[in-house]
Amino acid sequence: MTALDQIKADIAGNDVILYMKGTKEMPQCGFSSRVAGVLNYLGVTYKDVNVLADAEVRQGIKDYSDWPTIPQLYVKGDFVGGCDIVTEMMLSGELDKLFDDKGIAYDKGRADQIRAANA
């Protein structure tokens, strides 16, 4: 199986998947840490893929999405974005709406806490 085949299978097989540097338990860059931190705090169930463990996956996900940076968040097969986009969506409430629309379980109270702390 090629890296691209694995990426396609992972995105299709997981409701929420985060391509990141490091793991959700131990992120290896600040941007990955921020996105994983949001998802972890909200209690979202997701698969993490450490792009540092496989150079082909690291380049492959960039080619797949035509997006040059990591992390990359996918929800129900759709590319959401990287750190800046996810952060903006979290603060504006758009991430809540996306999760609600796609049937992704998360802690709405904690989402409100993030926004209140950043107001």
Binding site as annotated, residues for [2Fe-2S] cluster: 29
- Reference 36, options 15, 59, 19; nearest CA is 19
| Structure-token pair, residue 75 | 């929800």
Residues 6+ away with beta carbon under 8 Å from 103: 76
CB 11 within 8 A of CB 17: yes
CB 57 within 8 A of CB 51: yes
The annotation places the binding site at 29
Q: 16-20 and 47-50: which strand pairing?
A: parallel
